[in-house]
Amino acid sequence: MKLRLNVRERDGSRHGWEYDNVTNELWREGELLDLSKDGRLSQYMSGQTHRGQVFSDSKSKDLYDLRIQLGLRCNMHCRYCAQSDRALEKVCWGPKDVPAFIAKLKAGNVNVTGVIELWGGEPFVYWKTIKNLVPQLREMYPNVRFAMITNGTLLTEDKISFCEKYRIDLTFSHDGQGYQLRGADPLDDPKMVDLWRLAFSKLRCNINCVLSPANTDIEQIIEHIHSRLGAVPINFEGIMTHVGVTDKELMFSDKQLLTLQKNIFTAMTSGPWAKFPALEQQCRSLIQMLVNRKRLNPRAVKCCMHSPDNAAVNLNGDVLSCHDHCTPDKFVGRIEDLEGVDISRCFKPWSERPECRRCLVLSMCRGACPQIEGLARTLTCKNEFAYKFAIFQSVFWLLFGLTLESYAPAEG
């Protein structure tokens, strides 16, 4: 849809531009801009090595990314957890189930070329299963990358050694000064700090941070973590998603969202981007879409689970719509027959949502999580828009020296 952008010059004068949120075309005073001729932007066009997007309701036997859901048990109960429906906490898969799972992988002739991810809950709750499963997976897929997201509170030297032996990358979930929404901060414990530092010294690791009402100061997030671990890489996983969450303390106030937006804008327009790699990637991606006038596919969704070469499975061999949505109503097929998978009933793309068609940040957000509805979607969209609008504002300022104040559907 064509949108009118209300922008302000540095001298205070105001005028209107137009932007198409599907084709990523921009018009200034009715003239279509060709940003490919802007020499300043060549530096942002390098490194476009992303795999081409393909949208499919089924899966291929040739996977780039295989996500294995070990179960939803966790030693923590973070207040905003996306896995708030813990129906699978009672499902007791264990080492005894590994041989049958490996047999199902083989029966389905599943080939993985990119990464195998181990998911919980908290994966290290399933330590006995991991010790049995990983060596067999590594034998089957010797060249793929193994990865795991962990809260890091169950880490030991033995687990670090195991990860080193089988080449497992670790991503630690930590929200900096906002950690209280998860529980007690493990980085307040000197012994845990030493273990995390040991992991960073031996493995490929990084920190994943979720933005919440408790950590709107992104500079302070970096300072909090770096003061304990040193200059480790920190990524923003994104802004908090509401899935069954109605706790008032978890709902951003307008003031908190505005503070977060101001902090993102300041960071991206006045300092080196390398400090915030997740924000840098999103700014670069938007610039590339504008330069290339990249048209958004009507079937696009926010995550990669729409892709035929990405699949999430449990140890029973059920294919899941997503590793976070893994109750039986979200089973979409079997690992022995990936080509027979059908995710269509679980994924609702942006093109089927009227509110998305009118949204400025559609090309970045792509409709948020395609599986949430109702109040959860309303709250999530509010968060996602604020986060992505700050990035759009930053890019607009850097490209044109203009302040983007508001927008509305263009007449006609």
Q: How far apart are CA 173 and CA 165, in angstroms?
A: 22
Asked whether residue 388 is assigned to any structural domain, the reply reads: no
Task: Output the pTM of the full model.
Answer: 0.92
Number of domains forming the structure of the chain: 1
Mean pLDDT, consecutive 10-residue stretches, the chain (412 aa), reads 94 93 95 92 70 83 96 88 61 87 96 96 96 98 97 97 98 96 94 98 96 95 96 92 74 95 95 87 93 93 90 96 88 95 91 94 93 88 95 95 93 62
Q: What is the CATH number of the domain that holds 125?
A: 3.20.20.70
Inter-helix orientation angle 190-202/218-229, to 10°: 90
Asked whether residue 52 is assigned to any structural domain, the reply reads: no
Contact yes or no for 399/370 (Cβ under 8 A): no
Report which DSSP code applies to 179.
Answer: G
Asked whether residue 317 is assigned to any structural domain, the reply reads: yes
Give the 3-state secondary structure of residue 74.
Answer: coil
Output the six-digit token pair for 258: 């505005």
286, containing H or E segment = helix 277-292
Q: 120: domain range?
A: 62-215+226-246+292-340
Output the six-digit token pair for 80: 């905003």
Asked whether residue 104 is assigned to any structural domain, the reply reads: yes
Give the dihedral sign, CA 94/95/100/106: positive
What integer pLDDT is reported at residue 88 of this predicted model? 53
What integer pLDDT is reported at residue 241 of this predicted model? 85
Q: How far apart are CA 40 and CA 44, in angstroms?
A: 8
Asked whether residue 37 is assigned to any structural domain, the reply reads: no
Asked whether residue 203 is assigned to any structural domain, the reply reads: yes
Asked whether residue 148 is assigned to any structural domain, the reply reads: yes
Contact yes or no for 88/330 (Cβ under 8 A): no
Asked whether residue 382 is assigned to any structural domain, the reply reads: no
